[in-house]
């Protein structure tokens, strides 16, 4: 495990004590970093000229339910387009507060991938601009890729969602009438403010 190659040494040097563990396994460099200051660590990995991991290849999570503590690991695969070096970055996340910082500010690819991890594992990403379920629907209960989610679990039926703008009856959508209503509202609002 302690068999360090130059890349890992460089990472250790640059990230300092944010690195909990670094090793090479099956030809792949793996580092485990602290959850706090995550964005800062990734920023260094991305922007330090010696590392230049400018490409977020993959972002996912693994649930080590009953095998490891803390339970979750968020796994990032970074790639340096210039040299073709890869590194796997793992961030342990506990069950009590499944939250990590979002990387959307660094890589926009993180947007959808983080949404997927939220969808499947229920790990929240702080600072994500639009954290919604992505593959499943909003009414889905539970997080299916957690190991304690039974594979044959059935979901309750949900009523049809009244989506805004799905079917607009053009007759009710009378633009002139709308304009008039708006004006009336404004008038009312004006009257109210005067009174108040």
Partner 1 sequence: MIVDLAIVAVKAFLVLFMVLNLAGILGWVERKGSALIQDRIGANRASIFGFAGMGLVNTLIADPIKMLTKEDFIPAHGDRLMHTLAPCLALFPALVTFAVIPFGDVLVVGGREINLQVANLNIGILYIFAMASLSVYGIVIGAWASNNKFSLLGGVRGAAQMVSYEIAMGLSVIGIVIVYGTLEPQAMVRAQGELFWGWLPAWGVVRQPLAFLLFFTAAVAETKRLPFDAPEGESEIVAGYHVEYSGGKFLMFFAGEFAEVVTAAGLVTTLFFGGWQVPYLLRDGFYFPWGSVVSLAPLTVTILQVAAFTVKVLFFCWLQIILRWTLPRFRYDQIMRLGWKMLLPAALVNLFLTAAWIVVRRPV
Partner 2 sequence: MIVFFILAFLTLLFSLLVVTQRNVVHSAMALAATLFVMAVLFLTLDAPMLGVLQILVYAGAIMILILFVIMLLNPLSIEARPAAWWMLGSLGAAALCLQLAALVHRPAVSAEAAVPASFGGPESIAQSLFTDFALPFGLASVLLLVAIIGAVALAQRQR
Partner 3 sequence: MKAEVKELPQDIMELQMGPSHPATHGTIKFNLKLDGERVVDCDTEVGYLHRGFDKSSEQGTWTQVIPYTDRLNYVSPLINNVGYALAVERLLGVETTPRCQFIRVVASEISRITDHLTCCGMAASELGAITAGFYMIEAREMLMRIVEALTGARLTVTYVRIGGLKHDLPEGFAAQVKDAFEKTRRLLADVEKLLSHNRIFIDRMSNVGVISKETAVSYGLTGPVLRSTGVNYDVRKLQPYLVYDQMDFTVPLGSHGDNYDRFIVRVEEIEQSMRIVEQALEKMPTGPISIEDPRIVLPDKEKVYNSIEGLMHHFKIIMEGVHVPPGEVYQAVEGGNGELGFYLVSDGGGRPYRVRVRPPCFIAMGAFREMIRGYTVADIVPTFGMINMIGGECDR
> Using CB under 8 A as the criterion, which residues of the chain lie in contact with partner 2 when the complex forms?
170-171, 173-177, 180
| Orientation angle between helical segments 6-15 and 38-47, nearest 10 degrees | 130
Q: Which of 12, 57, 70, 127 touches partner 3 (CB under 8 A)?
A: 57
Complex with partner 1: residue 167 or 196, whichever CB lies closer: 167
Which residue from 1, 163, 170, 176 is in contact with partner 1, where contact means CB under 8 A? Answer: 170
Q: Characterise 84 by phi-psi region: left (phi > 0), alpha (psi -120 to 50), beta (else).
A: left
Query: If binding is defined by CB under 8 A, does position 134 make contact with partner 3?
Result: yes
Contact between 175 and partner 1 (CB under 8 A)? no
The first and second tokens of residue 37, run together, are 């200051």
CB of 58 to partner 3, least distance (A): 4
Question: Is residue 160 involved in binding partner 1 (CB under 8 A)?
Answer: no
Q: Is 39 in the site for partner 3 (CB under 8 A)?
A: no
Partner whose footprint covers residue 57, from partner 1, partner 2, partner 3, none (CB < 5 to 8 Å by kind): partner 3
Given partner 2, partner 3, partner 1, none, residue 169, with its beta carbon under 5 to 8 Å by kind, binds partner 1
Question: Pick from partner 1, partner 3, partner 2, none: which does 174 bind, CB < 5 to 8 A by kind?
Answer: partner 2
177 binds, among partner 3, partner 1, partner 2, none (CB under 5 to 8 A by kind): partner 2
Of 95, 137, 148, 187, which one interacts with partner 3 (CB under 8 A)? 137
Q: What DSSP letter does each residue of the chain carry, written as one string?
A: -----HHHHHHHHHHGGGEEEEEEETTEEEEEE-STTHHHHHHHHHH-TTT---EEEEEEEEE-TTTSSSSEEEEEEEE-TTT--EEEEEEEE-SSS-EEE--TTT-TTHHHHHHHHHHHH--EEET-TT---SSS-TT--S-TTSTTS-TT--PPP-PPP--TTSS--TTTT-HHHHHHHHHHHHHHHHHHHHH-
Q: Which residues bind partner 1 (CB under 8 A)?
A: 169-171
């Amino acid at each position: 495990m302690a068999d360090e190659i130059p890349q890992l040494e460089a990472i250790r040097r640059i990230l300092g004590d944010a690195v909990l563990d670094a090793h090479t396994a099956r030809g792949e460099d793996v580092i485990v970093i602290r959850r706090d200051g995550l964005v800062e660590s990734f920023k260094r990995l991305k922007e330090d000229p010696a590392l230049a991991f400018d490409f977020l290849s993959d972002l996912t999570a693994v649930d080590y339910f009953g095998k490891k503590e803390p339970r979750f690991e968020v796994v990032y695969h970074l790639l340096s387009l210039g040299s073709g070096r890869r590194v796997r970055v793992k961030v342990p996340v506990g069950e009590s507060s499944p939250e990590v910082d979002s990387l959307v500010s660094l890589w926009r690819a993180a947007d959808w991938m983080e949404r997927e991890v939220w969808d499947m594992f229920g790990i929240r990403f702080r600072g994500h601009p639009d954290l919604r379920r992505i593959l499943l629907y909003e009414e889905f209960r539970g997080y299916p890729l957690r190991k304690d989610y039974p594979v044959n679990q059935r979901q309750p039926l949900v009523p049809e969602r009244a989506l805004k703008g799905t079917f607009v009856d053009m007759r009710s959508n009378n633009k002139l009438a709308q304009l008039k209503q708006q004006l009336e509202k404004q008038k009312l609002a004006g009257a109210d403010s005067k009174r108040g």
